[in-house]
Amino acid sequence: MNDKWDFNMDEKTTNIYRNLNEQIDKVFRHTCQGSIKTRYRYEDGMNHFAKFLAENFKKQNLNKIASKHLQAYSEQMQETGYSKSYVTTNLSAIRFFVDIKGGNSKKLPTNRQLGVLPRTKEDRIGTNKAWSDTEVKKFIEYANSKSEVRYADMVSIAYSHGLRIHEVARLDKSQLGVALEVGFLTVKGKGGLIRSIPLSNKELVKRLYIETKSGEKVFINKEEKTHKVINNLQVFIYNHNNDFRAGNKNLTFHGLRHAYAQN
């Protein structure tokens, strides 16, 4: 498979990955559950998951796959641009693997809880995923009316700078301070790529800078888990599409980048 994200594994990480692969191979060699085609696809999905675990968690074995592993994995797949079909199949592979090893996949979060939303007609046939300026304004108004000022600001800064959801979540006070000084917002994005975006919506950036304490992140409080805030925002957008969208297209946070690219 030509992977969408570049795994950067040193020798130690590669050895961890090989060890995980051996565990996966052993399980699939001794099971007859499902069709041959399904087993091949699920094994491929587990190998992909193993790469992620090796690189991001340095996990030595697959005995205790936890919610945090699925959450981080599903977020990275979606952020990287994998199709919903690919994401959901790989998550199914993980649950299949857990059950075969005698675990209980029902204890793991559902796709909806992970922020992996059902495929829509637009996902299958394609559509313009970009938010319109009116939709962005309506979302901001709606979020503010529900006392979700943070969500309104996260959407606003993403729309004006073309940021991914993880780039928004990682923003800290120092980044905004530098941006106000030099006129460019610098972020570390997918694959570790550092990019600088011309500063836009300076009033918002200045307000967020003033409101954020020194040394802290802009949108994530110290006691919060980043993935939980991201997931809650994604679910909020999904649940309230009808309150701000124009037409029947399914708007997602990633559609803000499409909008930025079109402007």
Could you give the number of structural domains in the chain?
2
Which of 63, 91, 125 is the last residue before a domain boundary?
Answer: 125
| Residue 167 CB burial class (10 angstroms; 0-12, 13-18, ≥19) | buried
Alpha-carbon distance 148 to 146, whole Å?
5
89 lies in the same domain as 155: no
141 contact partners, CB below 8 Å, separation of at least 6: 244
For 240, which DSSP code?
T
- pLDDT for 95 equals 96
Residue in this structure with the two tokens 């990955």, named with its chain if needed = 17
Among 125, 158, 184, identify where a domain stops: 125
pTM for the whole structure: 0.59
> Are 190 and 252 contained in the same domain?
yes
3 domain-assigned? no
Task: Specify if 155 maps to a domain.
Answer: yes
Full residue range of the structural domain in which residue 28 is found: 11-125
Task: Give me the CATH number covering residue 39.
Answer: 1.10.150
Shared domain check, 168 and 118: no
Torsion of CA 198, 200, 202, 208, to 10 degrees: -90
Q: What was the pLDDT predicted at 147? A: 96
- Per the CB < 8 A criterion, the answer to whether 183 and 202 are in contact is no
Task: Give residue-wise pLDDT tens across range 175-234.
Answer: 999 999 999 999 987 666 788 999 999 999 999 999 999 999 999 999 998 888 998 898
226 plus 139 within the same structural domain: yes
Of 81, 96, 125, the residue that ends a domain is 125
pLDDT at 42: 96
* Sequential pLDDT tens for the chain (263 residues): 445 555 667 888 899 999 999 999 999 998 988 888 899 999 999 999 999 999 888 999 999 899 999 988 998 888 777 888 899 999 999 999 999 999 999 999 999 888 887 665 555 434 567 899 999 999 999 999 999 999 999 999 999 999 999 899 999 999 999 999 999 999 987 666 788 999 999 999 999 999 999 999 999 999 998 888 998 898 899 889 999 998 877 888 988 988 888 87
- Residue 2 has a pLDDT of 45
- Does some domain include residue 197? yes
Type of residue numbered 169: A
Helices (H), ranges, the chain: 11-29, 36-56, 67-80, 84-100, 121-125, 133-145, 149-161, 165-170, 173-182, 202-211, 226-239, 255-262
- CA-CA distance, 150 to 20, in Å (whole number)? 39
How many other C-beta atoms are found inside a 10 Å radius of the C-beta of residue 53?
22
Rounded mean pLDDT of the chain? 88
